[in-house]
Amino acid sequence: MAGNGKPKIGVLALQGDFEAHQRALERAGAQASEVRTDSDLQKLDGLVIPGGESSTMLKLIMEEQLLEPLRRFGTNKPIFGTCAGAILLATEVTHPAQPSLGLVDMSIERNAYGRQIDSRISSIEVNGKSREAVFIRAPIIRRVGPKVNVLASYQDQPVLVEQGRHLVATFHPELTADDSIHRHFVDKVAAASNT
Ligand code: GLN
């Protein structure tokens, strides 16, 4: 926690839409910062891996030798992965297969809605409340393990899930005005750092 009692949450800032996440985290009560190196990770209570292009992000993660530090971070601190970040958290990636952090027991298919319908804004229900979900060349979660809790679905596929301390969205909650999903993650980070 920061001296002001706010959880310190980093946003992986190698590629993708990390700035919108930082703003959403700040609105949700966290102290947000950009993460580019292993030492940036050391001072954090939680991390967001944003949307972008997962193969490019993975290449940059490898170049910066961040794969193991990120894995290690995820074994005791919460990570929230959105879209490309969701792909990076999965235990299995298909279409095509690529390495990942393997922190959330699920199989995820990249660019699964097809090229014609690259992006869409749809309505989903989270916690009994309707909210907008922005999907951009989104993956589909094809399988979840027994420890994964599905918080919201779209067209019968899970789109917001959690496993223990980690949270995953296949859409972009940082691009809509409703900060409830970021608030949920900030609460998870605060709870995890109090234990
Ligand atoms: N299609 C991207 C991928 O496979 C994810 C898109 C996104 O993050 N908006 O990495």
What is the C-alpha to C-alpha distance for residues 47 and 62, in angstroms, rounded to an integer?
18
Which of 12, 121, 136, 174 to mutate to test ligand 1, by most ligand atoms within 8 A of the CB atom? Answer: 136
CATH (one of 3.40.50.1860, 3.40.50.880, 3.30.300.100, 3.40.50.300) for 8-193: 3.40.50.880
**pLDDT reported for residue 76:** 94
Whether 64 is catalytic: no
pTM (two decimals):
0.96
Alpha-carbon Rg for the chain, nearest whole angstrom, is 15
At 108, list the tokens: 């995820």
Residue 195 confidence (pLDDT): 67
Strand ranges inside 137-190, DSSP E: 140-144, 149-154, 157-163, 166-169
Evaluate: CB of 51 within 6 angstroms of ligand 1.
Answer: yes
Verify whether residue 166 is a known catalytic residue.
no
Q: How far apart are CA 29 and CA 14, in angstroms?
A: 23
- Show me where the domains of the chain are located: 8-193
Structure tokens at 78: 């919460």
**Is any atom of ligand 1 closer than 6 Å to the C-beta of 52?**
yes
Tens of pLDDT along 74-95? 999 999 999 999 999 999 999 9
What is the whole-number distance in angstroms between the Cα of residue 170 and the centre of ligand 1? 9
Angle at 18 between CA 36 and CA 44, to 5 degrees: 50
| Tally: H helices and E strands in the chain | 6, 12
Q: What pLDDT is recorded for position 96?
A: 96
Q: Considering 83, 109, 162, 182, which one is annotated as catalytic?
A: 83
pLDDT by 10s per residue, the chain, length 195: 766 789 999 999 999 889 999 999 999 999 999 999 999 999 999 999 999 999 999 999 999 999 999 999 999 999 999 999 999 999 999 999 999 999 999 999 999 987 656 789 999 999 999 999 999 999 999 999 999 999 999 999 999 999 999 999 999 999 999 999 999 999 999 999 876
How remote is the CA of residue 129 from the centroid of ligand 1, in Å? 26
> Which candidate in 21, 109, 166, 174 is catalytic?
174
What is the pLDDT at residue 37? 96
CB proximity list for 166: less than 8 A, separation 6 or greater: 74, 78, 79, 80, 81, 89, 103, 104
- pLDDT score of 45: 98
